[in-house]
Amino acid sequence: MIILTKIDGNKITVNADEIETIETSHDSIISLKSGKKILVKESSQEIIALVIEYRRKCYSKSDEIAP
Identify the structural domains of the chain with CATH numbers, from first to last. Answer: 2-65 (2.40.50)
**pLDDT score of 40:** 97
**pLDDT score of 28:** 96
Q: Can you give the pLDDT of all 67 residues of the chain as single tens digits?
A: 999 999 999 999 999 999 999 999 889 999 999 999 999 999 999 999 999 999 998 888 655 555 5
pTM to 2 decimal places: 0.83
H or E, element range at 65 = helix 44-65
